[in-house]
């Protein structure tokens, strides 16, 4: 038996290629696949260490990896890193070209260090520039968390962070706990309309004039989410100080945001949406393209009595497909859930007859109107309330059946937050 090793042709040896001999498109696919690696399945951050190591192998991979390494910048507990980042992007514009998403999160303990870092890192010229269009030319999403926006009150900072809103590619912004630091907006406004399509203010305290001024600059806005922290910033809606700017969205929302498709308004009972003497609550009906709405009952109704008798379909956009309602009218002693801290006073949980509640009357009327052909596009109704968790009967089941007859899915969200309702145990 012949056990000799077969001869390998020279052509097969020469056919072997190095990784760098592949077309650039394939090399880019290799680099992109590295960004999918995670330390574990709960880790949302990219494996930047692997990318960093790969970028140090040769010049080609260095250039290719930079676009991935700098596409998403996330600063946590930044201390003076915020100032260093800004200075680096200004002085090395070839890196800023890759940034598409910027997230700044700073803990309170680092606030003073961050302020010192900004003053130390930025030159006088850099600090006083109104905006740096060449710094982040491809930034698409900006996310700021308090006290990151706190730095907007530092003289060196407002025109830098707020100026990012004027970047042509920026289409999405999210802020959390911004504490109403929106200085410098008037200066940036002189640049013209913004390209923003999505604005999300979560637990914000932005004042009415600044909010309307910002919306006025975003004619292409499609998604607007406003969650006002009304427990701590009740006086955030003050009289307008800018000519032509109102604190009430009801008079301006459809004009400022004619292309709005998704709207979240969780503002508490501050009458922030409409003037107190507004004779007709039809501000939402003017949003002709709106399909998804999440809001609280006072946005649509003046009182529980109004809710029990009014025709809700006359106050909703005609193209609505999803409706989420938050019931905040449960401050009576039957509930006592949100506004009280555990231990401050006894928690009260009582059974009630939910079939007689104004909320039930409104929901059943809505189902009947949809069955009659109103809001023909509505497919899902979600309600957050403790009412049906405290019900002595099966009112919620009857509501589900009423909506099912119209082909609409009805869902109930527990209003007990992280605390389970003891009546449901």
**Torsional class of 5: left (φ above 0), alpha (ψ -120 to 50), beta (otherwise):** beta
Least confident residue range of 69-78, 93-102, 164-173, 225-234: 225-234
Average pLDDT for 5-23: 60
CB within 8 Å of 64: residues ≥ 6 apart = 27, 28, 31, 55
Could you tell me if 29 and 35 are in contact, meaning their C-beta atoms sit under 8 angstroms apart?
Answer: no
**What pLDDT is attached to residue 329?**
66
Residue 385 has pLDDT above 90, yes or no: no
The rounded mean pLDDT for the chain is 72
| 343 C-beta neighbours (distance < 10 Å), count | 7
**What pLDDT is attached to residue 61?**
77
28 pLDDT band (50/70/90 cuts)? confident
Task: Pick the more confident residue, 288 or 150.
Answer: 288
165 assigned to some structural domain: no
342 assigned to some structural domain: yes
Task: Pick the more confident residue, 170 or 27.
Answer: 170
**What pLDDT is attached to residue 327?**
86
Find the radius of gyration of the CA atoms of the chain: 27
Task: Pick the more confident residue, 369 or 157.
Answer: 369
Which of 53-62, 322-331, 406-415 has the highest mean predicted lDDT (pLDDT)?
A: 406-415
CA distance 58 to 159: 38
128 assigned to some structural domain: no
380 pLDDT band (50/70/90 cuts)? very high
Average pLDDT for 55-71: 78
CB within 8 Å of 24: residues ≥ 6 apart = none
Question: Number of folded domains in the chain?
Answer: 1
CA distance 231 to 40: 38
281 assigned to some structural domain: no
Residue 384 has pLDDT above 70, yes or no: yes
Tokens of 408: 């609409």
414 assigned to some structural domain: yes
217 assigned to some structural domain: no
Which tens digits make up the pLDDT trace of 114-146? Answer: 555 555 655 666 555 545 566 778 889 988 775
Task: Pick the more confident residue, 119 or 1.
Answer: 119
**What pLDDT is attached to residue 419?**
54
Query: Which residues on adjacent β-strands are paired with residue 388?
Result: none
Task: Pick the more confident residue, 176 or 221.
Answer: 221
φ, ψ for residue 157, nearest 5 deg: -105, -40
Residue 351 has pLDDT above 60, yes or no: yes
278 assigned to some structural domain: no
Domain that holds residue 357: 291-418
Which tens digits make up the pLDDT trace of 164-220? Answer: 777 788 899 887 765 555 555 555 666 678 889 999 887 666 666 677 778 888 889
Residue 86 has pLDDT above 90, yes or no: no
258 assigned to some structural domain: no
Describe the crossing of helices 395-404 and 358-371 by its angle, rounded to 10 degrees.
20
Task: Pick the more confident residue, 234 or 91.
Answer: 91
The model's pTM is 0.75
Which tens digits make up the pLDDT trace of 292-348? Answer: 999 988 888 888 888 999 999 999 999 999 999 988 765 545 444 433 344 444 445
């Amino acid at each position: 038996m012949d056990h000799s090793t077969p001869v390998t042709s020279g052509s097969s040896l020469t056919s072997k290629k190095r990784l760098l001999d592949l077309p650039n498109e394939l090399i880019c696919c290799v680099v992109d696949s590295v960004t999918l690696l995670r330390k574990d399945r709960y880790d949302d951050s990219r494996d930047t260490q692997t990318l960093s190591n790969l970028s140090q192998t040769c010049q080609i991979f260095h250039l290719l990896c930079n676009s991935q390494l700098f596409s998403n910048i996330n600063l946590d507990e930044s201390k003076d890193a915020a100032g260093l980042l800004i200075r680096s992007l200004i002085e090395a514009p070839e890196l800023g070209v890759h940034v598409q998403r910027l997230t700044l999160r700073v803990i309170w303990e680092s606030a003073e260090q961050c302020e010192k870092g900004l003053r130390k890192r930025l030159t006088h010229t850099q600090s006083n520039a109104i905006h740096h269009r060449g710094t982040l030319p491809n930034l698409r999403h900006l996310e700021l968390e308090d006290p990151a926006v706190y730095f907007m009150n530092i003289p060196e900072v407002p025109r830098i962070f707020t100026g990012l809103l004027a970047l042509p590619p920026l289409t999405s912004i999210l802020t959390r706990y911004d504490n109403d630091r929106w200085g410098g907006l008037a200066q940036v406004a002189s640049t013209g309309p913004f390209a923003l399509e999505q604005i999300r203010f979560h637990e914000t305290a932005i004042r009415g004039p600044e909010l309307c001024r910002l919306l006025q600059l975003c004619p292409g806005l499609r998604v607007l989410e406003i969650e006002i922290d009304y427990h701590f910033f009740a006086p955030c809606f003050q009289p307008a100080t800018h000519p032509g700017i109102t604190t009430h969205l009801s008079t301006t929302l459809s004009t400022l945001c004619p292309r709005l498709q998704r709207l979240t308004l969780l503002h508490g009972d501050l009458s922030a949406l409409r003037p107190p003497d507004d004779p007709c609550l039809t501000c939402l009906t003017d949003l002709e393209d709106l399909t998804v709405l999440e809001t609280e009952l006072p946005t649509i109704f003046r009182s529980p009595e109004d809710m029990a008798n009014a025709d809700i379909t006359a106050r909703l956009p005609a193209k609505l497909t999803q409706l989420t309602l938050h019931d905040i009218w449960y401050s009576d002693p039957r509930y006592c859930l949100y506004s009280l801290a555990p231990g401050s006073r006894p928690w009260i949980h009582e059974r009630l007859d939910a079939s007689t509640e104004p909320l039930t009357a409104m929901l059943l009327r809505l189902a009947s109107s949809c069955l009659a052909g109103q809001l023909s596009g509505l497919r899902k109704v979600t309600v957050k309330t403790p009412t049906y968790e405290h019900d002595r009967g099966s009112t919620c089941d009857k509501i589900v059946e009423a909506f099912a007859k119209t082909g609409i899915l009805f869902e109930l969200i527990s209003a007990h937050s992280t605390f389970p309702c003891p009546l449901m145990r």
